[in-house]
Amino acid sequence: MGAIASGGVRVLNEEVIRDLRLPSRLIEIVAAKEQLELARRELLYREGRPPIPLSGRPAILVDDGLATGATMLAAARALRQQKPRRIVVAVPVAAPDACEEFQAHVDEVICAFTPKPFHAVGIWYEDFAQTSDAEVREILERAAHVSAG
């Protein structure tokens, strides 16, 4: 039904909300729950480090794929608040419509594969397991060591 991101960004899929007749109270409950999860992850992943300043710098948003694009749109809007020089979205697989529509939201979109019919992101992967908190923290720790030295 939508996605949230840092900076109070919220992207709602009005068509899904209307078709499923989701009450606004339910949307607010889910959004509040997801906001808590977002805050938990930011705290855990940053380990006290401030966000990287992005003003005037190019930024690349990468995801495993674009289906509806709601999550990526929320990320792009949150990133735009930080005033990067340009935003590039890069995905290995995308619904053709989502890839095309995204051109209006960022400076550049790279969709390596846009199959028809698309169906879902996960069917284009042999292993579509979620990345754990521990894996994210390990990757960020390695990246911090590489950039520091």
Number of domains in the chain: 1
Phi, psi values for residue 16, rounded to 5°: -65, -45
Domain interval for residue 27:
2-148
pLDDT over threshold 80, residue 9: yes
CA distance 134 to 140: 10
Question: For position 115, which CATH number holds?
Answer: 3.40.50.2020
Residue type, 98: A
Quick one: 60 exposed, middle or buried, by C-beta within 10 A (0-12, 13-18, 19+)? middle
Token pair 């169906």 is found at 119
Here the tokens at position 27 are 């949307």
pLDDT on residue 143 = 85
CA distance 89 to 41: 22
CA dihedral of residues 91, 97, 98, 100 (deg, nearest 10): 70
Spatial neighbors of 37 by CB under 8 A, at least 6 apart, are none
Task: Report the chain's mean pLDDT, rounded to a whole number.
Answer: 93
pLDDT over threshold 70, residue 148: no
Q: Which of 70, 80, 63 is nearest to 4 (CA)?
A: 70
Locate the DSSP E strands across the chain. 2-5, 9-12, 58-62, 86-93, 108-113
pLDDT on residue 146 = 80
User: pLDDT of 71-100, one tens digit each?
Assistant: 999 999 999 999 999 999 999 999 999 999
Q: Positive or negative, the Cα torsion across 92, 51, 3, 58?
A: negative
